[in-house]
Amino acid sequence: MRWRPLAALALLAGASALAPDPAAAQILDRSMTAPRPFGVILGDVFTLKTRVDVAPPFRLDASALPKPGPVTYWLDLRSIEIREESGPNGATRYEIAAEYQTFYAALEAIEQTVPPVKLVVTAEDGRRAEADGASWSFITSPLRPIVATAGGGSSAYSIRPDAVPARPSLRRSEIAAAAAGAAALLALGLLAWSRAWPPFHKRPARPFAVAARAVARQARNGEAGWRGAALSLHRAFDAAAGRRLLGEDLAAFLAARPSFARLEPTIRDFFEASRQAFFGAGSTPMPADDLLSLSKSLASAERAS
Amino acid sequence: MTLGLVRSLAPAALLVAALVWLGASLWTLQGERAERDVFDALAANRNVEPPDDASGELLFARAHYLLSRDRIDEAQALVGRIVDRGGPAVAARFHYDLGNARARRAVGAVEASQINKAIPEVRLAKDAYRAALRGDPGLWDARYNLDVVMRLVRDFPEFEAAEEETKAQPKKLWTDLPGRPRGLP
């Protein structure tokens, strides 16, 4: 971690180039943190962090820093990151984190040096100054002895075996498919329960759904069918009210069930029609289609209540 | 009213959502099962081409099949797709296997005393191992094998410098040809 004296070159045009180092004022402070400088082997990754304080009108020129790629024949720069924050005395503090990877295949423990990073600062008016960052030396060690130990001869060139592809596992997808299947079954059950489909068709809370099916079966089968359908619908009203429901009780029944209020005129028509059919002249004043649509509307209103 | 509508429609909407999920997961499962069939065929030493939309891992399995049979050129045609789809970890293992295939060729050439054939193979093996270590520094086998091939042909800074020079002047093709004056004796 030796720093060269602040011999930053002032490249101010001509005249001041030979003046004794006015550029030292632009780069106020430099320091570097590095990992342990020994026990580094082939393929290791290490990060060198350089901290630079730059005096105000000047800024660090990021484009002058080295780009990721090979630095020397044995060293790669993997990535370089710059963080900027405000430093002491109004200076701008830059933290440069350079990640290197060494490919030096040592035969014996030997010292190697990472070349310094060139720091260039520029000002808006075109002034410019350069300085070298720190170089870092470390001791790199071999992976294997020089003389092949066991076996001799051909084993000197024996390499580690191939990386074998891993057999893909279907477990995750199987679990997801099973969960989706279970969710679909559950949703189907909920729907059947909500609409009183089998096996929930005996549900007491859905008398109109049961009645709607009975009406759909019977209503179009002439006079007798109409009567049967009407009776089924009456039984549904009875079940919903909890007692025999007559035309006179409708107001109280509907007041307790706001979701049926929309259907009130049709319901009254139905009660009137059924009174006519069962106790009156014997005609069927309400067409079978109307009866069918009323029963469906009632079943739907029942689900919504 | 709104609450009633929700209570009436929610079960149906839930069912539709669950069915969509079921369909999507079955589709995924089907795709993965087809992919594993190709994988198993490769592992059973059958020469199967992976489909165009194969995953990086399956492409690596195909490359492994080719590399273990010394069909390096065919395997190298897969490198772009492996890097794109498999990410750095799978690409690192591919490069490692590629390096091993090159190293086997190099050792074979050395043992047959064909040093001139061995040198370029060693160089390519080194490049492959370095690419593997760049992608995954934790691939220790790549470090070991890189060390082995480095012992075959070492890197030297002088060679690098000389190479860069020749790269910089590729146009001087004819200057070294021995000239012979024509015409007058």
* A158-182 pLDDT per residue, tens: 888 888 888 888 999 999 999 999 9
Which of B12, B25, B151 is the closest to A177 by Cβ?
B25
Compute CA A143 distance to the chain's CA centroid, rounded to the nearest angstrom.
Answer: 42
* Highest mean pLDDT, choosing among A285-299, B139-153, B160-174: B139-153
Does residue A184 belong to any structural domain of this protein? Answer: no
Are B57 and A166 within 8 A, CB to CB? Answer: yes
- CB of A80 closer than 8 Å to CB of A68: yes
Shared domain for A106 and A215, answered yes or no, is no
Does residue A292 belong to any structural domain of this protein? Answer: yes
Mutate to test the interface with B, among A45, A146, A173, A260 (most CBs of B within 10 A): A173
What average pLDDT score do residues B66-93 get?
92
Tell me the C-alpha to C-alpha distance, in Å, between residue B65 and each of A154, A164, A195, B50: 25, 10, 58, 12
What pLDDT does residue A148 have?
60
Which of B29, B130, B152 is the closest to A177 by Cβ?
B29
To the nearest whole number, what is the mean pLDDT of chain B?
84
pLDDT-derived band at A260, boundaries 50, 70, 90:
confident
End of a domain among A109, A128, A143?
A143
For residues A101 and B21, what is the distance between their CA atoms, to the nearest angstrom?
Answer: 46
Does the pLDDT at position A5 exceed 70?
no
Least confident of A75-89, A148-162, B171-185: B171-185
Shared domain for A26 and A139, answered yes or no, is yes
For residues A123 and B104, what is the distance between their CA atoms, to the nearest angstrom?
Answer: 56
CA distance A86 to chain B (A): 34
Shared domain for A202 and A135, answered yes or no, is no
For residues B62 and B77, what is the distance between their CA atoms, to the nearest angstrom?
Answer: 11
A40, containing H or E segment: strand A40-41
Are A195 and B11 within 8 A, CB to CB? Answer: yes
Shared domain for A32 and A134, answered yes or no, is yes
User: Per-residue pLDDT tens for A223-254?
Assistant: 888 888 888 888 888 888 878 888 788 888 88
**Chain A partners within 8 Å of B160 (Cβ):** 73
**Chain B partners within 8 Å of A167 (Cβ):** 36, 39-40, 43
Least confident of A222-231, B19-28, B53-62, B158-167: B158-167
Shared domain for A53 and A138, answered yes or no, is yes
Nearest CA-CA partner of A233 in A304, A299, A305: A299
Are A43 and B146 within 8 A, CB to CB? Answer: yes
Shared domain for A14 and A139, answered yes or no, is yes
Nearest CA-CA partner of B130 in B157, B156, B92, B101: B92
For residues B98 and B70, what is the distance between their CA atoms, to the nearest angstrom?
Answer: 10
Does residue A109 belong to any structural domain of this protein? Answer: yes
Amino acid occupying residue B77: A
Does ipTM top 0.90? no
Shared domain for A123 and A241, answered yes or no, is no
CA distance A247 to chain B (A): 26
* Domain boundaries along the sequence of chain B: 51-155
Are B11 and A304 within 8 A, CB to CB? Answer: no
Write out the residue range of the structural domain in which residue A87 sits: 9-143
Q: In this complex, is the C-beta atom of B8 within 8 Å of any C-beta atom belonging to chain A?
A: yes
For residues A301 and A262, what is the distance between their CA atoms, to the nearest angstrom?
Answer: 9
**Chain B partners within 8 Å of A184 (Cβ):** 15, 18-19, 21-22
Helical residues (DSSP H) of B44-139, grouped into ranges = 56-67, 72-76, 79-111, 115-135
End of a domain among A125, A143, A161?
A143
- CB of A132 closer than 8 Å to CB of A118: yes
Shared domain for A86 and A19, answered yes or no, is yes
Burial of B184: CB neighbours in 10 Å, binned 0-12, 13-18, 19+ = exposed
Window 53-82 of B: residues touching A by CB (8 A cutoff) are 55, 57-58, 60-61, 64, 67-68
Which of B15, B29, B64 is the closest to A188 by Cβ?
B15
For residues B154 and B142, what is the distance between their CA atoms, to the nearest angstrom?
Answer: 16
For residues A36 and B100, what is the distance between their CA atoms, to the nearest angstrom?
Answer: 32
Does residue A160 belong to any structural domain of this protein? Answer: no
Are B61 and A181 within 8 A, CB to CB? Answer: no
A57, containing H or E segment: none
Shared domain for A51 and A139, answered yes or no, is yes
Amino acid occupying residue A231: L
What average pLDDT score do residues B134-150 get?
91
Phi, psi at B81, each rounded to 5°: -70, -35
Does residue A174 belong to any structural domain of this protein? Answer: no
Per the structure, the count of domains in chain A is 2
Nearest CA-CA partner of B142 in B126, B154, B156: B126
Mutate to test the interface with B, among A78, A162, A171, A297 (most CBs of B within 10 A): A162
What average pLDDT score do residues A71-79 get?
92
Does residue A105 belong to any structural domain of this protein? Answer: yes
Name the residue in chain A with its Cα closest to that of B159. Answer: A73
What pLDDT does residue A30 have?
81
CA distance A161 to chain B (A): 8
Does the pLDDT at position B33 exceed 90?
yes
Are B151 and A105 within 8 A, CB to CB? Answer: yes
- Name, in order, each residue with C-beta under 8 angstroms of B168's C-beta and a sequence gap of 6 or more: none
Strand, helix or coil at A31?
Answer: strand
What pLDDT does residue A140 have?
94
Nearest CA-CA partner of A164 in B63, B136, B143: B63
For residues B57 and B38, what is the distance between their CA atoms, to the nearest angstrom?
Answer: 11
Percentage of chain A exceeding pLDDT 70: 86
Does the pLDDT at position A14 exceed 50?
no
- CB of B118 closer than 8 Å to CB of B109: yes
pLDDT-derived band at B26, boundaries 50, 70, 90:
very high
Are B36 and A167 within 8 A, CB to CB? Answer: yes
For residues A116 and A282, what is the distance between their CA atoms, to the nearest angstrom?
Answer: 110
For residues B89 and B67, what is the distance between their CA atoms, to the nearest angstrom?
Answer: 18
User: Per-residue pLDDT tens for A94-126?
Assistant: 999 999 999 998 888 999 999 988 888 888 888
Q: Under CATH, which architecture does the B51-155 domain have? A: Alpha Horseshoe (1.25)
Which of A143, A167, A179 is the closest to B143 by Cβ?
A143
